[in-house]
Amino acid sequence: MQGTRGTILLVDDSEDIVDWVRLVLGRVGYTVLTAPDGARGLELTRRVRPQVVLLDMMMPEVDGLQYLDRLARECGPPLPAVVACSGFDAFEQLALERGARGFLRKPYEASELLAVVEAALHQSEAGTRALAINATRVPEVRVEADRAREALLAAAPLDDSGLRAQARDLVTWAVGYFGVRRAFVTALRARRLHVIAEAGGAPQFPEGCAMDPSVNFCPDVITAGARMVLGDSATHPVYAGHAAAAASRFYAGAPLVTPDHLALGTLCLEDTEPVPFHAEDLAVLAQFAANLGRQIHSLAGGLPVEPLFAAPKLFGAAALEVLLEAELRRAERDGTSLELGLVDLRDDKEGALEEIGFDLARLPERRHFAAAIDEAAGIALVMGDASSALVRRRVDAAIGAFTWRHPAIGAGAATFTGHTGALLEIPELTRTAREALALATRARDGKTHRLEVAHS
């Protein structure tokens, strides 16, 4: 929405916050631009020259502190008024020292946001008052969230076999997909961090244990109700001295949130060495963490649980779009390849799922590979982050892993090789893959038929 009151740049990787801020500020006449990380935020600042920047602190790659460090050097005058925004309070002093006009704690209200933006534009006292109200109100909100979390988790059977099986399948898959040493799911209850599921062999917090929260980064994620990425905790200006930094040099965590955004625990990744981690990786982590949060919320209310997996290593249909979106963005950014393979099976799909999941589980772990149920085609395979030839070989291997005992009517694939600036939407990719599957079904020659995706 184009406005006349001024141009505001929101640098934040949360789509929910982006949509809400656009609505609040656009409604009163501001032009709102957005960037999902600090690098693209700097690019927009240099090109568009917004009057105010609302800057998230915790983002993958270039975070809020790095944005502030680079702002004057890379953008030059006139510089915008920057308001730091975060659920991680430990960033406040460092952000102010680096030139931020104020620190707005999350979750902030519409009245606080409007007052702070107006004050940043006109240097009024209203912003100081709004920040003071925000600094008092948010801790009270967090106390209420603690009470609500305890009440909900007291009613939720965290030892439910279905929940644990889903969480265990997820962390096992996550170790391979993200290329990390370990992954785990936690819940914060009765001042202890309970490990619901773990993969990768973490001796300090095995599955089923309850640990001291102070020795892990997860409680900060839960308190903030926000994602955390530490590419290298040993050098991080806020977390280098944390008790968890010695064992977890890389950490990425997303909160398990209920439909009303109450954080119950985390889905997180760790490694003893730094790991490259991008915005699309964080989006996948956050989506699947939210799914587990909804499962726990349903269990607490005695409601049916919508599972994330249809069978071990085989996602349900709802996960397919999340994974495709992430891999398309990755291919576009890095110029790598993505292949969506679709397989239609001859025999009863319902009865084949368990065996297919078992066969997939025997495959070597692959970065950025996933298999899912596709409602129209049967089985969908997503593979990205490599050369076109390597992607194709890996998808063929996955198809072969389960079609040897479940003969396929046909297998078709759409291959997309990304180029910086390319624009491609999921429907275009899936339409091409379906055309290839239709070709394979007609041919019945046992080969996987492929079509390249044309894009502008």
The tens digit of pLDDT for each residue in 297-352 reads 999 999 888 889 888 788 988 888 889 888 888 888 888 888 888 888 766 666 67
User: Could you give the maximum distance between any two Cα atoms of the chain, in Å?
Assistant: 74
pLDDT of residue 424: 64
Last residue of a domain, one of 306, 339, 354: 306
Residue 60 sits in a domain of what CATH number? Answer: 3.40.50.2300
pLDDT exceeds cutoff 50 at 456: no
Mean of pLDDT values over 118-135: 85
Count of domains in the chain?
Answer: 3
Q: Which percentage of the chain shows pLDDT scores above 90?
A: 54
205 and 234 fall within a common domain: yes
Q: Find the mean pLDDT for residues 152-175.
A: 92
What's the rounded Cα separation, in Å, for the pair 227 and 94?
19
Same domain, 297 and 324: no
Residues 166 and 293 in one domain: yes
Q: What percent of the chain has pLDDT over 70?
A: 93
- Cα 109 to the chain's mean position, in Å? 24
Q: Mean pLDDT in the chain?
A: 87
Task: Please tell me whether residues 282 and 315 are part of one structural domain.
Answer: no
How confident is the model at residue 325, as a pLDDT?
A: 87
Does residue 286 or residue 350 have the better pLDDT? 286
Nearest to 249 by CA among 278, 215, 214, 275: 275
2 in any annotated domain: no
Domain assignment of residue 374, yes or no: yes
- CATH label of the domain that carries residue 205: 3.30.450.40
Q: What is the per-residue pLDDT across 201-247, written as a single tens digit (0 to 9) for each? A: 766 678 888 989 998 999 999 999 999 999 999 999 999 999 999 88
Provide the pLDDT for residue 273: 92
Residue 221 inside a domain? The answer is yes
Residues 351, 435, 376, CA angle at the centre, nearest 5°? 30
Indicate whether 76 and 194 sit together in one domain.
Answer: no
Cβ atoms of 96 and 83 closer than 8 Å: no
Does the structure show a pLDDT above 80 at 160?
yes
pLDDT, mean of residues 429-436 = 79
In sequence order, the 6+-apart residues with CB closer than 8 A to the CB of 350 are none
Q: Does the residue 260 lie in any domain? A: yes
What string of H, E and C letters represents the secondary structure of 344-402?
A: EECCCHHHHHHHHHHHHHCCCCCCCEEEEEECCCEEEEEEEEECHHHHHHHHHHHHHHH
Q: Are residues 302 and 160 in the same domain?
A: yes
Show the domain range for 98: 7-144
Q: What are the distances in angstroms from CA 45 to CA 101, 374, 429?
A: 16, 41, 33
Q: What is the pLDDT of residue 209?
A: 86
CA distance 372 to 393: 18
The CATH number of the domain where 318 resides is what?
A: 3.30.70.270
- Residue 1 forms part of a structural domain: no
Same domain for 318 and 447?
A: yes
Question: With 50 as the cut, is the pLDDT of residue 1 above it?
Answer: no
Flag the least confident range among 137-141, 291-295, 305-309. 305-309
Domain boundary among 258, 281, 306: 306
Do 293 and 374 sit in the same domain of this protein? no
* Within a domain: 151: no
101 and 37, same structural domain? yes
Domain assignment present for residue 149? The answer is no
Say whether both 96 and 61 belong to one domain.
yes
Count of all residues that appear for the chain in the document: 456
pLDDT at 422: 56
pLDDT of the residue at 3:
53
Same domain? For 270 and 168 the reply is yes
Q: Which residue matches tokens 């977390």?
A: 239
Which token pair is 167?
């969480």
- Give 95's contacts (C-beta < 8 A, 6+ positions apart): 55, 57, 64, 65, 68, 84, 86, 103
Of 12-26, 131-145, 181-195, 381-395, which gets the smallest average pLDDT? 381-395
Q: What is the pLDDT of residue 348?
A: 64
Domain end call among 114, 144, 174: 144
What are the tens digits of pLDDT across the range 46-104?
999 999 999 999 998 899 999 999 999 999 899 999 999 999 999 999 999 999 999 99
Neighbouring residues of 103: CB distance < 8 A, sequence distance ≥ 6: 83, 84, 85, 86, 91, 92, 95, 96, 131
Same domain for 341 and 276, yes or no, is no
Considering the domain boundaries, does residue 150 fall inside one?
no
